[in-house]
Amino acid sequence: MNLVSGATVVAGVVGAPVAHSLSPLIHNAWLDAAGLDAVYVAFAPPPHRFTAFAEGLRGGAVRGLNVTVPFKEAALAIADEASPFARRAGAANLLLFSADGRIAADNTDGAGLAAALAEQAPLFEPGAGPVLILGAGGAARGAAAALLEAGAPEIRLLNRTRARAQALAAALGAPVRVAAAERAIAGARLVVNATSLGLDGGAGPELDLEDAAPGAVVMDMIYRPLETPLLRAARRRGLAVVDGLAMLIGQAAPSFEALFGAPPPPLDVRRLCVRALEAGP
Ligand code: NDP
């Protein structure tokens, strides 16, 4: 374990709540294995103070921050520059503070989604057919933007609040559209749960997986529990499943490189995360 010195680089994650975030575990394990003089901590400013908190970091005393719920949109808003993907996703999960006072925003959630699919469903081809995304919040928007970029020919949105899905479809444009509930899953090659249904032992989304395309892939962004009701149902049907932890680690890797200037060292952080999840909150 590295000792903190006068030269230790500081980075972290900001969210509310953030105490259960696995990001400090992931990044500090990588830092330790890489022997870097840096530390990654969690910040939980009062929600109405987020902008003042982040503005106060201009100048780079803190190297950068991952950003999680509910600050991703506000993070994009305060940045001086943003990557095209962050702009398209309408949210930033990474802020970098430079010495000249500027703030750069990026969004690595799309890369995380792509990495999770590549790792756990390597045969999946985004261009092969329709995708169904459940939800229309920040995570759904990022997923739709990433799958659009990857070449998905049709992206269907299904959300409890239809108006929110309509706004998202309008923002991203064709081929993203709002699906009619009864036909949403018909022939889908990929189903992504980007709602909070199934979180912490709650019931998962109601969906008849029988109507998905043969050999469809089912992904759940939730990773508490690691095997959600949706993933359990998909596994029972023999479908390929992709879990939210793979996405979390997938977004952490490019974040680490942006924050600390080197790719993460080879280390099985998934095993550490699974152990932490099994130990409970
Ligand atoms: P938001 O609060 O922006 O959106 C929540 C979504 O869930 C909305 O579509 C909302 O519908 C829907 N929802 C909430 N409760 C219900 C309910 N009872 N019935 C039906 N729909 C419901 O959250 P995010 O988009 O930021 O995150 C969504 C999920 O994705 C979270 O569980 C989050 O932890 C996870 N996530 C995982 C990541 C990873 O790396 N694995 C990264 C980012 C997010 P409505 O619009 O009607 O309110």
Q: How far is CA 249 from the centre of its chain?
A: 9
Distances (CA, A) of 106 to 73, 93, 202, 260: 11, 6, 32, 15
- 195 C-alpha to ligand 1 centroid (Å): 3
- 199 C-alpha to ligand 1 centroid (Å): 9
> Does the Cβ of 159 fall within 6 Å of ligand 1?
yes
- 54 C-alpha to ligand 1 centroid (Å): 24
Which residue from 160, 161, 219, 277 has its CB within 8 A of the most atoms of ligand 1, so it is best to mutate? 160
Considering only CA atoms, which residue is closest to atom 21 of ligand 1?
Answer: 160
Start-to-end CA span in the chain (Å): 23
Say whether 110-242 and 9-107+251-279 share the same fold.
yes
Q: What is the pLDDT of residue 170?
A: 96
Q: What is the pLDDT of residue 17?
A: 92
Question: What ligand 1 atom has the least distance to the C-alpha of 244?
Answer: 41
The residues spanned by each domain of the chain are: 9-107+251-279, 110-242
> Candidates 3.40.50.720, 3.30.465.10, 3.10.180.10, 1.10.340.30; correct CATH number of 110-242?
3.40.50.720
Q: How far is CA 128 from the centre of its chain?
A: 23
> Does the Cβ of 221 fall within 6 Å of ligand 1?
yes
> Does the Cβ of 222 fall within 6 Å of ligand 1?
yes
Catalytic residues: 72
Q: What is the pLDDT of residue 3?
A: 83
Considering only CA atoms, which residue is closest to atom 9 of ligand 1?
Answer: 135
> Does the Cβ of 135 fall within 6 Å of ligand 1?
yes
pLDDT in tens, the chain (281 residues): 568 999 999 999 999 999 999 999 999 999 999 999 999 999 999 999 999 999 999 999 999 999 999 999 999 999 999 999 999 999 999 999 999 999 999 999 999 999 999 999 999 999 999 999 999 998 999 999 999 999 999 999 999 999 999 999 999 999 999 999 899 999 999 999 999 999 888 999 999 999 999 999 999 999 999 999 999 999 999 999 999 999 999 999 999 999 999 999 999 999 999 999 999 87
Q: What is the pLDDT of residue 212?
A: 96
> Does the Cβ of 139 fall within 6 Å of ligand 1?
yes
- 281 C-alpha to ligand 1 centroid (Å): 19
Question: What ligand 1 atom has the least distance to the C-alpha of 112?
Answer: 40
Dist. CA 207–CA 210, nearest whole Å = 9
Assigned superfamily of 9-107+251-279: Leucine Dehydrogenase, chain A, domain 1 (3.40.50.10860)
Encoded tokens for 50 = 């987020």
- Prediction pTM value: 0.96
> Does the Cβ of 166 fall within 6 Å of ligand 1?
no
- 69 C-alpha to ligand 1 centroid (Å): 10
Dist. CA 75–CA 34, nearest whole Å = 29
Q: What HEC string does the chain produce?
A: CCCCCCCCEEEEEECCCCCCCCHHHHHHHHHHHHCCCEEEEEECCCHHHHHHHHHCCCCCCCCEEEECCCCHHHHHHHCCEECHHHHHHCCCCEEEECCCCCEEEECCHHHHHHHHHHHHCCCCCHHHCCEEEECCCHHHHHHHHHHHHCCCCCEEEECCCHHHHHHHHHHHCCCEEECCHHHCCCCCCEEEECCCCCHHHCCCCCCCHHHCCCCCEEEECCCCCCCCHHHHHHHHCCCEEECHHHHHHHHHHHHHHHHHCCCCCCCCHHHHHHHHHHHCC
Considering only CA atoms, which residue is closest to atom 32 of ligand 1?
Answer: 196
Q: Residue 82 phi/psi, 5° resolution? A: -145, 145
Dist. CA 237–CA 226, nearest whole Å = 18
Residue pair 249/269 in contact by the 8 Å Cβ criterion: yes
- 164 C-alpha to ligand 1 centroid (Å): 12
